[in-house]
Structure 1
Amino acid sequence: MLDLTLYDPFGNMQFTDTNCFLCGTIITHEHRTPVFGEWLQDKYNLGKKELLLLDKSVTTFSQLTIPCCDHCHTHYVLPLEAEIEEAASNGITGLQALNQQKVFQWIGKMYYGTLINELIKEASPYVTPEYAVSEDPKMLGKFRSFFQVLQSMRVPMVFSDFLPCSLFFVEVNPAEDDLPFEYQDELTTMAFSIKLGSLAIICTLLDNGIIGRALGRLSQVTEGQQLHPIQLAEYKARVFYAAYIFNVVPEYFIRPVKPEDDHLVLDTLIDDVTNEIFNPWDMTAYAHMLEEMLKPWGIREQEILQNPRQPLSFLLTEENTFRPMEKLER
């Protein structure tokens, strides 16, 4: 009988360099896998590129690794990376054609890999973090739910009529694009973006596709369009802000397993009775988010909110249609 048992490191906070991140098997310090796949590092020359972590420490893409047993590395991590690499070689259509659960797993592995590094550091008696993730019960509950569905990497799992995330695929116009690779995530809101050449993927994890539906109009008007890099930045601001005001945490339930089953089936429930799904949209808070995304262009909040009822937009016209842009003119 296939072992369909899920691993739960959150029960006893089992976050160490000697437990496989995916199955919990006891391993040595040498058993590691990169958070960002080797093919990604090679293709975009990321090895020595620096990364700023939550505790303000600096590492590099090649140094950012997580504990992983040989079995999980060989049977789950490497095949997943190979599938994504092949799909990404065909651009936006290749990744859109791939089973979206695979894209979720790939992004989830990178997000969770960054989180695991933080939790392992916090377990050290020599580290006193300014903001300890492990001391926030609400966040730990959220991460626990996320890891439950991320284990679909290892344990065959079917999500009943939902995907645990929203995915946005965007094509970037190369005319004024000088960044072959870009990566950004927000630990607490679970928003993530990664740019691979002219392809960008923006993802909100653990929202069961709700944010994707809420921003459906944005996806429709930009579909088939090439975005200028400043338009991509605004797109990210809109998605990241939606994740910021998202106010519920899905619960996941495993259907009873029968002896002949070869996979788990998960149902989900969102409490939208006692909780509003989204907190109210605050224009000033959104302007802060947009200002952060527009830093490379030096655009400040005052300019963004020059007309408070119609904040600055490079992406949409006043009629909410797509604003074509090949070159930025200001």
Structure 2
Amino acid sequence: MFQVLFNPFRDLIFDEHFCFLSGDLTNETMTVFPEWLMDHFKFGNERIEMMDKAKSYNYEDLKLPCSTRVKDAFDDLDLKIQAAYKDGFEGMAALDDELLFQWTGRMVYGLLYYEMLYERDRLLKQGEEFVLSANLKERFSHFHLMLQSVIEPISFIGKKPWSIVVFPLKYSADIFSYRDDAINLMFSFGVNGFGFVACLQDNGVIEEKQQVILEKMKGHIMHPVQFEELYARFHYSDYILQYKPEYKIENHDNGITIEVEANGKQPVFGFWDEDIYAQLLSNYWSVYGIEREEILKPQKPLLSFLENPYTKDFVDPESISLPF
């Protein structure tokens, strides 16, 4: 049976009476960030800014219209993540990465949804039409389809469409750190015990690019400054990614399959500009007071807390004197 699922990006449907995931008519809502997470780290009443910094919301006020079946599915997913969370790194690392994709995808999509609403309303006030480029429509449509695996019989064949890396991490108790880039479908999450970095639509190529450092990290409990540097590497790699993810999507009697298709027509990554990367990294290291000028000095290798710039040996987290 051929099945056509709801795709809000086809006609740019972002309406409070249509479930964000299924398209079902509804008057129910669910929070963008899981309620247990906001309660545990007490950030529900803190503010989050939209990308242009002109609009902000309380985290707890970010809500998505949803049908009962979608809310129930995410409640079940939350129970699995919460149980794994209690077991720290071992619990999270043991999860199927599809569950982490779905859990992370809910938050990233929720933020993307609000960016779409904000941009649409801003343009309407100016008498302009809200449009998305064909590339963004396709990219976001694929992401939305994959997220529907929470409620629909959608399976992934072979290579996964994402890069998700989980690792041990040392933070002070009760500190919660996360970063997101909703437009580029990226997310990082760190607490005392574990962290993870997720690129939700790169077909795994960024994880492959960073494989050398990921291998060196094994067996170590990362310092937060290393966690920030790792995310900066992933984020900048995504920025210079010259690769259009393509998929073979097929309907079957028992559901939909999604398979990554190889695309070797162009270089996967563009030129790595250390000046731009240093500026990005300084944004993440600002909490430590580390400026761009300290990261990139004339006639000196780039500052790194992951690798010794001369020997390329992994930097032992215990040797880092910065606070955590």
TM normalised by structure 1 equals 0.89
Segments of structure 1 that go 5 or more residues without pairing to the other structure are none
Greater than 4 Å deviation, 4+ residue runs:
125-129
Give the aligned length.
318
What letter is aligned with 1:226?
I
Contact residue 109 and residue 182 of structure 2 kept, 8 A: no
Compute the displacement of 1:125 (Å): 6.7
AA aligned to 1:68 is: C
Aligned equivalent of 1:72, options 70, 73, 76: 70
43-52 vs 106-115, which moves further: 43-52
For the pair 1:272 / 2:264, whether they are aligned, the reply is yes
| 8 Å contact from structure 2 (residues 163, 205) kept in 1 | yes
TM-score by length of 2: 0.91
Which residues in structure 2 correspond to 1:199-218 (within 5 Å)?
199-218=194-213
Q: Which residue of 2 aligns with 1:150?
A: 147
Which residue is 2:24 aligned to? 25
For the 8 Å contact 1:15–1:123, the answer to whether it is kept is no
Distance 2:112 2:270 in 1: 25
The answer to whether 1:36 aligns with 2:33 is: yes
Give the root-mean-square deviation of aligned CA atoms: 2.3
Q: Distance in 2 between matches of 1:308 and 1:20?
A: 55
Unpaired segments of 5 or more residues in structure 2? none
Residues in 2 aligned to 1:17 and 1:227: alpha-carbon distance in whole angstroms = 41
1:1-330 alignment, distance < 5 Å? 4-28=3-27, 31-56=28-53, 57-74=55-72, 76-124=73-121, 134-174=131-171, 177=172, 180-258=175-253, 261=254, 263-273=255-265, 275-307=266-298, 310-317=301-308, 318-326=310-318, 327-328=320-321
Identity of aligned residues (%): 28
Bigger shift: residues 264-273 or 43-52: 264-273
Taking the aligned partners of 1:272 and 1:192, their CA distance within structure 2 comes to 26
Q: Which moved more, 1:35-44 or 1:195-204?
A: 195-204
* Residue identity opposite 1:164 in structure 2: P
Give the CA deviation at 1:189. Answer: 2.7
Residue 122 of structure 1: how far off its partner (Å): 3.1
Residue 153 (structure 1) shift: 1.3
Measured after TM superposition, the shift of residue 178 of structure 1 is: 6.8
Deviation at 1:292, TM superposition (A): 1.0
Give 1:55 deviation, angstroms. 4.0
What secondary structure sits across from 2:199 in the alignment?
Answer: strand
- Return the letter of the residue paired with 2:226: Q
